[in-house]
Amino acid sequence: MKTILRAAALLCACFAFASCERTADDRLVVGFAQIGSESGWRAAETRVAQEEAKTRGIDLRISDAQQRQENQIRAIRTYISQGVDAILLAPVVSTGWDSVLAEAKAANIPVVLLDRRIETADQSLYLSAVASDAVEEGRVAARWLAKTVADKPCNIIELQGTVGASVANDRKAGFAEIVAQHPSMHIVRSQSGDFTRSRAKEVMESMIRAEGGKGICAVYAHNDDMMIGAIQAMTEAGLKPGTDILTVSIDSVPDIFRAMADKQANATVELTPNMAGPAFDLLTAYLQKKAVPPKWVQTPSTLYLPDTAEAEYQARKTRY
């Protein structure tokens, strides 16, 4: 009887503190509420997450929300009901998460945010966020453009990401901050391309008609896929992207390096698709009671230019 009571007490303690020491035969079960596959970068993030999970022997369960928050919330609740060990969330928008994350917290399931942040008054609702500094990404893009135009007049078209997404808000804010420091630079049109090539192509076609094409100095896109769509629109309109119109975008997917090698694009700021690897590492340490992670694990924001485009394309094309 004493043995049974001790075992029961130990089991209760494990539930109360959300983790016990895992045995060598235990597999960490992690649910991943992914946004979707709206871009090459997003597909790469999913693929890399699967690779990183396999390397660590993690049972990774991925849901595709098709860019809809209600689908992500439904997926999180499914993971909670399944009793997973942890949840990864790449939030499609920045608000509206408190209720479902409170449910995860009540179930003692830690949540790690990937590549995007959320707005909440209760920071305890998530364990950590693995993400870049999206404001700095915008700054890096704008600094490159400012240096390139060298204070010459420059009218800029901005292709924004999904409305309400933290990364779109931040990339816009960082870019605008630097532009404001240069009186010769002006964002004349700014509209969402929803992070997709097809939508960005439509938006760019409309902007070219409105601006007459020749008045455009540069295009800034919140991701590379939108820039690829914009390049298609510019080319079809008889313009020369990369020459007549400067381009700078964010993510560093293979197709933008191909465009730079072909002299149709000028610059990209890298967002690594390996968000899951650091997330798995901190989750493993946390669940084994080895370490409480920082609230934000920051990934670097590196600028790439055409001089290394061909090599970067060859190095990345099999992973994306």
Residue 16: pLDDT band by 50, 70, 90 thresholds? very low
pLDDT digits (tens, 9 = 90+) for 127-163: 999 999 999 999 999 999 999 999 899 999 999 999 9
φ/ψ (deg, to 5) at 298: -90, 135
Write down the pLDDT at residue 26.
79
Length of the chain: 320
Sheet with 296-299: list strands edge to edge: 59-64, 29-34, 86-89, 111-114, 128-132, 296-299
Whether 182 and 249 have beta carbons less than 8 Å apart is answered as no
| Residue 24, number of CB atoms within 10 A of its CB | 5
Mean pLDDT of 111-123: 95
Write down the pLDDT at residue 92.
94
Residue 23 confidence (pLDDT) above 90:
no
Write down the pLDDT at residue 40.
84
Residue 30 confidence (pLDDT) above 50:
yes
pLDDT digits (tens, 9 = 90+) for 236-287: 999 999 999 999 999 999 999 999 999 999 999 999 999 999 999 999 999 9
Write down the pLDDT at residue 272.
93
Whether 110 and 288 have beta carbons less than 8 Å apart is answered as no
Residue 12 confidence (pLDDT) above 70:
no
Give me the chain's average pLDDT, please: 91
Write down the pLDDT at residue 269.
98
Q: Which pTM was predicted?
A: 0.81
5 vs 34: CA distance, rounded Å: 42
154 vs 188: CA distance, rounded Å: 10
- Provide the residue type at 244 as one letter: D
Write down the pLDDT at residue 266.
98
Write down the pLDDT at residue 213.
67
Beta strands in 135-279 (DSSP E): 154-160, 185-192, 218-221, 246-251, 267-270
pLDDT digits (tens, 9 = 90+) for 55-105: 999 999 999 999 999 999 999 999 999 999 999 999 999 999 999 999 999
273 vs 58: CA distance, rounded Å: 18
Write down the pLDDT at residue 317.
85
160 vs 141: CA distance, rounded Å: 14
Residue 48: pLDDT band by 50, 70, 90 thresholds? very high
Residue 34 confidence (pLDDT) above 80:
yes
pLDDT digits (tens, 9 = 90+) for 206-244: 999 988 767 899 999 999 999 999 999 999 999 999 999
Residue 11 confidence (pLDDT) above 90:
no
249 vs 290: CA distance, rounded Å: 39
Domains, the chain, in order of start with CATH, read 23-131+273-299 (3.40.50.2300), 134-272+305-316 (3.40.50.2300)
Tokens of 215: 């008045």
Question: What contacts 231, CB < 8 A, 6 or more positions away?
Answer: 241, 242, 247, 259, 264, 265
